[in-house]
Amino acid sequence: MLNSNDGATPESNASSNHADRLAPAEEEVHLVPPLNFAMVETGIFRSGFPESKNFSFLQTLGLRSVICLCPEDYPKTTMEFLRSNGIELYQFGVEGYEEPFVNIPDDTIRDAMKVILDPRNRPVLIHCKRGKHRTGCLVGCLRKLQRWCLPSVFDEYQRFVAAKALVSNQSTGHRKTMDDQKPVVP
């Protein structure tokens, strides 16, 4: 007399049941942070301009707001990502410079700082094109409000701008590059 297994042995039936219980393979999700991504403090992040390959990573942050310091229009795909995730965009069009604290209007800094300091906007991502100079200036202003000493503010700034950073030599008035430490005459 055959049982309901149609002649299957208990061993083969057990392995078949185990295979049925396995979930189908899910598509692997790669979490790729934007260029120069870092946490500034809890609920405040910084980076370069987010690209579509960064969207899965950004979703893990639960962002409420993005502060963009670039004057260019936001790409359509990025705007759709923000809308579909309920993320508010605050855009402050600051022209790019490779030197800190040059030609960024005080009112722009104040307006951007208001967004950062309002806890209703957190978690917030601050970014510019590469996450270096403009973002570094805004984060530096936050650090001063947090009572960081100026050398620590500049150290953090230099970590993100790397070898392209220009450091002012206060004793000679010359600028030096980080990589060769030779004076660059303005």
Integer CA distances (angstroms), 87 to 11, 78, 94, in order: 53, 11, 21
User: Which one of 68, 128, 137, 141 is the catalytic residue?
Assistant: 128
Burial class (CB in 10 A: 0-12, 13-18, 19+), 74: middle
Question: Is residue 128 annotated as a catalytic residue, yes or no?
Answer: yes
Burial 144-175 (b: 16+ CB within 10 A, else e): eeeeeeeeebbebbbebbeeebbbeeeeeeee
Query: Active-site residues: which are they?
Result: 128
